[in-house]
Amino acid sequence: MNGKILLADTTLRDGEQAPGVFFSPRQKVQIVKLLAQCGIKEIEAGTPSSCKTEMEAFHKIMSLGLKVRIVAWGRMTNEDLQAVKSSRVATVNLSIPLSDIQISTKLRTNRKQVLEKIKEYVGKAREMGLEVALGGEDSSRAEEDFLVEAIEVAKQEGAFRFRYADTVGILDPLRTYQTLSRLKKWTSFPLEFHGHDDFGMATANSIAAWRAGVASISATLCGLGERAGNGALEEIAFFLALRKNVDVGIDLKGLFSLCLLTSRLSKRKIPPWKSIIGEEIFLHESGIHVDGILKNPRNYEPFNPSIIGRKHRFTLGKHSGRKSVLWTYQKLGITLSEQKAKDILHKIKNFTATKKRPPSKEELFQFLTENFPHSSNIGT
């Protein structure tokens, strides 16, 4: 396991591949600046060969002069390589499929020709003065001995890292750990893990990759990406920093704020229950939980909400208890007797069962009267 790890952002490349998402050059510059301010040291900013606006974005980003490694993504073609060079970046992730299914059906070629292409294009990129990372597309469905062959060819040609990509999100944490641990034994080449979330495993797999000793993890803000998305950068960063005391070198509060901005710019709403960044992750209704929080917040808080500039909150509903009612009315400047709190709790449960929402401030005042209407009979 690593006491320190590089967390690389690919929101502007793989994240932007989410259907309907488009970041303008100005927005890309804004996100890159904020990523750098948060402490992110490597940013995969896009695919230069994709369109003119992408090239414009790269030129604007490179003109910032940030002390951050800006990476371009490209295929192993002359067109992509020339576009990368024109983008003014110093580093490229050259990607090629390594699984037999993609080699045979997507590339319509064979393993030998793939190795020859790696040798050719890594060599060309190095001759152009570029730092080269080999991107192993669909590594999780590739034969491990072939991965080692590909790594060795790239290493001989001067590449500096290999990206192990779980392109269709089929891994689980145990297999991730076992596979990457074996690769670590078979090659001294630095490894990067890049996970997709098709089975909801991307963050867990990224943590397993860290345990296996990879040099870096590639992820996106909010887990943005095609299909089910990618590993969520904020989830990985928060877990490693707060639960494993890993030096991720990232301002967590700044990263949280950047996630909210990315959600707005991408027009992708954050579910209220989304880990780390969801609006309701510190909102409690259960009477047992509220009682526990009031006694000691650590009873039901995995991390201090002040880290992201929030506070724990309570809401009233079907699962509320007497303590929740007493606390809520105390916040309104009203001290209730124990019996009055029980009576009002009964009204609240009836109300929320009928209305399917918590009561408003005005309705809470109305509950103080004995004749407030209710239409169901839920016990306390």
In whole angstroms, give the CA distance from residue 283 to residue 212: 35
Query: What pLDDT does 377 receive?
Result: 37
Instruction: Give the single-character DSSP code of 107.
Output: S
Mean pLDDT, residues 9-22: 97
In whole angstroms, give the CA distance from residue 290 to residue 313: 9
Dihedrals φ, ψ of 11, to 5°? -60, -40
- Residue 228's identity, in one-letter code, is A
In whole angstroms, give the CA distance from residue 370 to residue 197: 52
Mean pLDDT, residues 192-218: 98
Band (pLDDT 50/70/90 cuts) for residue 210 is very high
Band (pLDDT 50/70/90 cuts) for residue 3 is confident
Mean pLDDT, residues 12-16: 97
Query: What pLDDT does 2 receive?
Result: 67
Band (pLDDT 50/70/90 cuts) for residue 97 is very high
Query: Is residue 371 scored above 80 in pLDDT?
Result: no
Average pLDDT, the chain: 94
Query: Is residue 268 scored above 90 in pLDDT?
Result: yes
Query: What pLDDT does 370 receive?
Result: 61
- What structural domains and CATH numbers belong to the chain? 6-266 (3.20.20.70), 283-366 (no CATH)
Structure tokens at 75: 């295929």
Mean pLDDT, residues 244-252: 96
Band (pLDDT 50/70/90 cuts) for residue 291 is confident
Q: Decide which of 378 and 19 is more confident.
A: 19
Q: Kindly report which listed range (102-116, 264-278, 293-307) carries the lowest average pLDDT score.
A: 293-307
Tokens 């100005």, residue located = 26
In whole angstroms, give the CA distance from residue 17 to residue 225: 6
Query: What pLDDT does 290 receive?
Result: 86
Query: What pLDDT does 379 receive?
Result: 37
In whole angstroms, give the CA distance from residue 194 to residue 163: 7
Instruction: Note whether 215 and 191 are within 8 A (CB).
Output: yes
Query: What pLDDT does 26 receive?
Result: 97
Give pLDDT tens digits for 294-349: 899 899 999 999 999 999 888 888 888 888 898 889 889 999 998 898 989 989 89
DSSP-based three-state secondary structure for 173: helix
Mean pLDDT, residues 79-108: 97
Give pLDDT tens digits for 27-73: 999 999 999 999 999 999 999 999 999 999 999 999 999 999 999 99
For the chain, state the CA radius of gyration. 26
Query: What pLDDT does 376 receive?
Result: 39
Band (pLDDT 50/70/90 cuts) for residue 375 is very low
Query: What pLDDT does 183 receive?
Result: 97
In whole angstroms, give the CA distance from residue 31 to residue 261: 9
Instruction: Note whether 194 and 165 are within 8 A (CB).
Output: yes
Instruction: Note whether 199 and 169 are within 8 A (CB).
Output: yes
Query: Is residue 74 scored above 90 in pLDDT?
Result: yes
Query: What pLDDT does 372 receive?
Result: 46
Give pLDDT tens digits for 187-198: 999 999 999 999
The pTM for the full model equals: 0.90
Give pLDDT tens digits for 168-192: 999 999 999 999 999 999 999 999 9
Give pLDDT tens digits for 109-156: 999 999 999 999 999 999 999 999 999 999 999 999 999 999 999 999
Instruction: Note whether 187 and 159 are within 8 A (CB).
Output: no
